[in-house]
Every structure is written in structure tokens, then in C-alpha cells.
Homo-oligomer: A and B are copies of this chain.
């Protein structure tokens, strides 16, 4: 039953590797095909056209991103919200995650322009990240669901500031953000 024939399934990992390294927007069929050891002819044959190739690829990348998060999930919950943020930001600095992060902003830009397939992938990745963060939240947090979303907002903001060279702004913002405690009782 084991054949050497190419298929979407065997192609996608190789395509994903190329895209993670060289970007998604500028990716054209021939370089993609070369990276996968085929021809543009075969990519069109297996995916129909470039757009569905990109959509399928985005879905696949979202999946392996989820898997990467699954692997990186800590066995222990954080003690404080602040630790949540620092642990996640630290994990985002890992070289493994770097390629994902660079690609992520391209996906966000694609979402902003409503490119087909982008929003679905972004949604999947965000959902996974939310789940991941929720599992990391301190056990005794007074508002785990809301707190997760609050921290997620802060983390994404910090990641963005990092990428545009304002990591200092993010850092100072986090320090001023009073994350050590949970929300104050109202």
C-alpha cells in the first residue's frame, strides 16, 4: 500500500517548511514546488489552483502550530498572572517559535485584507493559544476566563510592539500594568 506518489498530505509539510522560512505572500509556485521536490505542474494538479493550495497550507500550518503549542505546554500552572505573561513571552522568543511569529504577522495582514483562508487559520491559531493560556493560568485566579482574555490582549500587544522595534514600550507597559495581582475587588 505504501506508494511513492505525492499527495496533499506528503506535500504539505515540505511546503509549510518553505513558507515558514520564506514567507507566504511572496511564495510562488515554482519555488514552492522546488522546495517540495516537484514541479509547479504537480502542485496545481494536486491542489487545483494556487488559492486552495494557500488555504490548505494555512490550515496545515495552523495545525502544526497547535501541535507545537501542545508540545510546549508546561506541566505546571503559573503562580501569578504576571508569570503567565512572562512565560509566554519567553516562549515566543524561542527559535522554534520565531518562524511562526514572523508568519503570524503575515497572516494578520492577510486577515486585514480579507484574503481567503487567512481568517480561518488565524482563528484556529488564536483559539489554540487561548486554550493554552487558560491552562497556564494560576489555579486560584478569581476570573480565569476573563483573565485569560485580558492577558491574551496584553500579550498580543506586547508581541506586536516587539516586532516593530518598540519592545521597550511593551516592557515598560507591562511593568506599569499591575499584573502581579489579580483584578482588584470592586
Interface residues of A (CB under 8 A from B): 23, 25-26, 101-102, 104-109, 111-113, 119, 122-123, 126, 130, 143, 145-147, 149-158, 160-161, 163-166, 169-170, 172-178, 180-181, 183-184, 186
Contacts and interface: CB of A to CB of B under 8 A. Distances in A.
Contacts of A186: 178, 180
30 contacts: A101-B112, A102-B112, A104-B112, A105-B111, A105-B112, A106-B109, A108-B108, A108-B160, A109-B109, A111-B163, A111-B164, A119-B165, A123-B165, A126-B161, A143-B176, A145-B176, A146-B172, A146-B176, A150-B174, A150-B176, A152-B157, A152-B169, A153-B154, A153-B177, A154-B154, A156-B157, A157-B157, A157-B158, A178-B183, A180-B186
Contact of A112 (B111, B149, B154, B163): B163
Contact of A157 (B23, B123, B154, B178): B154
A84 to B, nearest CB: 13
A173 B122 CA distance: 18
Query: What's the dominant secondary structure at chain A's contact region?
Result: helix
A158 B153 contact: yes
Contacts of A122: 164-165
Contacts of A101: 112
